[in-house]
């Protein structure tokens, strides 16, 4: 597995999908899995350099250690290819993570 530290994480622009339901606050210890508009993955502060499910599983397992009860917050840009999100969910399911939340942006008030 090849990963790199992504220092400019705050400059990564995501346009989260919106929903009418109020977004809940992610627990402080939640593992962050981010998929950008190009379908590239970031686990915690590290970019996963390959986009296949095995590379993503290895990066997630390394970041989470043996804690499969740890909550995971999946964030994907609204323009992210659907398959990239499915791949992330598949990797998490194969690793037996049960507490997966998908980040959304609240729908603007009308």
Q: Which domains are assigned to the chain?
A: 28-106 (3.30.420.270)
Tell me the C-alpha distance between 2 and 47, whole Å: 9
Residue whose C-alpha is closest to residue 45's, from 10, 7, 75, 13: 7
pLDDT attached to residue 81 = 95
Stated pTM of the model = 0.73
Q: What does pLDDT average to in each consecutive run of 10 residues of the chain (110 residues)?
A: 46 59 59 96 96 97 95 95 96 96 77
pLDDT attached to residue 105 = 73
pLDDT attached to residue 16 = 62
User: Token digits for 22?
Assistant: 């109020």
């Amino acid at each position: 597995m090849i990963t790199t530290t992504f220092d400019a994480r705050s400059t990564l622009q995501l346009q989260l999908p919106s929903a009418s339901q109020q977004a809940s606050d992610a627990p402080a210890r939640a593992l962050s899995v981010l998929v950008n508009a190009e379908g590239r993955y970031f686990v915690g502060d590290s970019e996963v350099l390959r986009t296949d499910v095995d590379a993503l599983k290895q990066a997630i397992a390394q970041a989470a250690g043996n804690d499969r009860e740890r909550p995971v917050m999946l964030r994907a840009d609204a323009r992210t290819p659907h398959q990239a999100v499915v791949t992330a969910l598949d990797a998490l399911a194969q690793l037996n993570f049960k507490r997966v939340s998908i980040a959304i942006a609240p729908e603007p008030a009308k």
